[in-house]
Structure 1
Amino acid sequence: MQRRRLGRNGPDVSAIGLGCMGMSWAYGPADETESIATIHAAMAAGIDLLDTGDFYGIGHNEELIGRAIRGRRDEVFIAVKFGALRDPSGGLIGFDARPASVRNFLSYTLRRLGTDHVDLYQPARVDPAVPIEDTVGTIADLIRAGYVRHLGLSEAGAGTIRRAHAVHPVAQLQIEYSLMTRGIEAAILPTCRELGIGVTAYGVLSRGLLSGRLAAGTTLGADDFRTRAPRFQGENLARNLELVEALRRIAVEKGATPAQLAIAWVLSRGEDIVPLVGARRRDRLEEALGALDLVLDADDLVRIEAAVPAGAVAGTRYDAHGMRMLDSEGRPGG
């Protein structure tokens, strides 16, 4: 397994991380036995970065990981997002990054994971009601107390990143980044590189659009959040699938799948970027790992970006409510 560093002076992790959200939430039912087998397969392949959130399945995801790593805690680097609030039906009802809440969330996380520390802790979103300095200062206290090893941020804008980093060094920013989502290239990625902050990229397959397995007319389950995502609706989906077909033609020439080409593209963006793959099954994990063997030269990159040009995707990455939650997008309408 290739290795990359999260930040200029941050931790060394596998070049690809395993995003575990789908094992508990967002894409419909998942098989727990297969999920644990997938985590074990990832570890066997050399993946040590496991990414989760305390609100994924309302704690289920952390409990799942806790079972999977029991007796093997020292083999993995666990990154946890916190702060999303849910109602009894499972709906998202806001975010809370107040200092007391940060400490409370971590207490439950440690119990569910069965560990005495998490390797990286980060607010899932920037809470507009709480100064980022207060949230980060609390995590810094938890780092000094030994409950957390490294500080992270998620979906933060350039200004917020600077303010947070001034309080305590930020090891990494987690943010959506793919051929279809390239907004970070304007200001956020340059800011991270200036400050020596690594990036873990989620949504590298744009929620499955770039997998090459979706077709026009695909019916998603009622509990699949993509049913509400603009990129998967009507004419937007048709347009986006045209982009995928253009990518597929290049992938076939390279002896790869569209998913592998999309992951390899993210890997090519810099040694400071670690893509998270959301595999829920071992066969999908194996496919994703194949991206590590793809070598993309300058001509390949030109052709890939011509097939899926920056800004060509139709539809925003979340619905209007979700977009208002994103500090990284300037909180339009919020």
Structure 2
Amino acid sequence: MQQRQLGQHGPVVSALGLGCMGMSDFYGGRDDAESIATLHAALEQGVTLIDTADMYGPHTNEELVGRAIAGHRERVFLATKFGVVRSADPHARAVNGRPEYVRAAVEGSLKRLNVDTIDLYYQHRIDPDVPVEDTVGAMAELVSAGKVRYLGLSEASPDTLRRAHAIHPITALQMEYSLWSRDAEQAMLATCRELGVGFVAYSPLGRGFLTGAIRSPEDFADDDFRRHNPRFMGDNFRHNLTLVDKVRALAEQKGVRPAQLALAWVLAQGDDIVPIFGTKRRQYLQDNLGALEVSLSAQELTEINSVFSPEAVAGARYGEAGMRTVGR
């Protein structure tokens, strides 16, 4: 397994990580036995970075990951997140960054994961009503107490990252980044590199769209959140599908799968970037790990970028409410 360092002074982890959200939530259907088998297969292949969050399920994904890593803790670099609060309304979200919430949230995650220490603890979304200095100050207390090893932020703005990093070193910034989500290139990647903060790219396969397997909105289960995502709706879907078909053609020319090409593109954007792809099936795990063997020339990267330029994508990456929570 290839490895990469998270930030200038951070830990070394597998070059590809496994995101576990879809095993329990958002993408329709669940098969805990297959998900646990997939997690075990990932560990066998040398994947060390395992990513979850308390809001996935909610809570059930951390419990699932906890069962899967039991007896394998020494092989896992475990990341989880706090700060997004869900209610009985499946579409409602609140954000909480108050220090007392931080202290309560970590205890819940430790219990569900059945571990003594979380390797990387992210603030999932920035609370606009709480200074980030207060939130990160409480997170730093968790490091001192031995409950957390490293701190991270997710979907923060460059200014917020600077302010947080001044309170306690931030090891990783997590943000959506893929061929069809290039917002990080505007300022976030440069800020991370300036500060020596690692960059973890989530949804590097465009929520599965870049695999080429999704051909119609009807491919989604009724409870799949992508049905309500602007990029997967109406004319946006049809337009974006033409882009995916072009990427699929490039992958066929190279003799690789579209998912492997998409992941290889993210890996090629810098050795300081660690993509975490999500899957709940062993079959797709093996396909995705094959991206580590795909090398893209400068000419190939130019060709891919010309097909899938940032301005070519139709639709926002979240609905209106979701977009208000990113870049804070």
Report the TM-score when normalising by structure 1.
0.96
Q: CA deviation at 1:91?
A: 4.0
Q: Hey, what does 2:178 align to over in structure 1? A: 178
Give the corresponding residue for 2:189: 189
- Secondary structure of the 2:27 match is coil
Offset at residue 212 of structure 1 (A): 0.5
- TM-fit CA distance, 1:72: 1.4
Residue in 1 that maps onto 2:145: 145
Match of 2:168 in 1: 168
1:46 corresponds in structure 2 to 46
Q: 1:71 to 1:217 in 2, by over 3 A?
A: closer
- What is the identity, as a one-letter code, of the residue corresponding to 1:266? V
Number of residue-to-residue matches in the alignment: 328
- Following superposition, the deviation at residue 228 of structure 1 comes to 0.7
Q: Contact (CA 8 Å) 1:48, 1:77: kept in 2 or not? A: yes
Tell me, what secondary structure is at the counterpart of 2:215? Answer: coil
**More deviation, 202-211/313-322:** 202-211
Q: Superposition RMSD on alpha carbons, in Å? A: 1.0
Equivalents in 1 of 2:2, 2:92: separation in Å?
A: 36
- More deviation in 97-106 or 303-312? 303-312
Contact 1:84 1:92 in 2 (8 A): no
Tell me which residue corresponds to 1:226.
226
Shift of 1:55: 1.0
Q: Please, which runs of 5 or more residues in structure 2 have no aligned partner?
A: none
Q: Percent identity?
A: 52
Report the counterpart of residue 247 of structure 1 in structure 2. 247
The residue type equivalent to 2:150 in the other structure is: H
Q: Aligned residue for 2:4?
A: 4
Structure 1, unpaired ranges of 5+: none
**1:219 offset after TM fit, Å?**
3.7
Equivalent residue number for residue 154 of structure 1: 154
Contact 2:217-2:232 at 8 Å conserved across structures: no
Instruction: For residue 217 of structure 1, report the CA deviation from its aligned partner.
Output: 5.1
Q: Secondary structure at the match of 1:53?
A: coil
Tell me if the contact between 1:54 and 1:80 (Cα under 8 Å) persists in the aligned partners. yes
Q: Is the 8 A contact 1:55 1:85 kept in 2?
A: yes
Q: Distance in 1 between matches of 2:203 and 2:175?
A: 8
Return closer, same or farther for 1:48/1:101 CA change in 2, 3 Å cut-off.
Answer: same
> What amino acid is the match of 1:246?
K
Report the Cα distance in structure 2 between the residues aligned to 1:177 and 1:84, rounded to whole angstroms. 20
Contact 1:182 1:311 in 2 (8 A): no
Aligned residue in 2 for 1:292: 292
Tell me which residue corresponds to 1:85.
85
User: How far off its partner does 1:92 sit?
Assistant: 3.3
Q: CA deviation at 1:307?
A: 1.4
CA distance in 1, matches of 2:287, 2:220: 22
Is the 1:58–1:90 contact (alpha carbons within 8 Å) kept by the matching residues of 2? no
- State which drifts further: 45-54 or 88-97: 88-97
SS of aligned partner of 2:104 = helix
Q: Residue 132 of structure 1 aligns to which amino acid in structure 2?
A: V
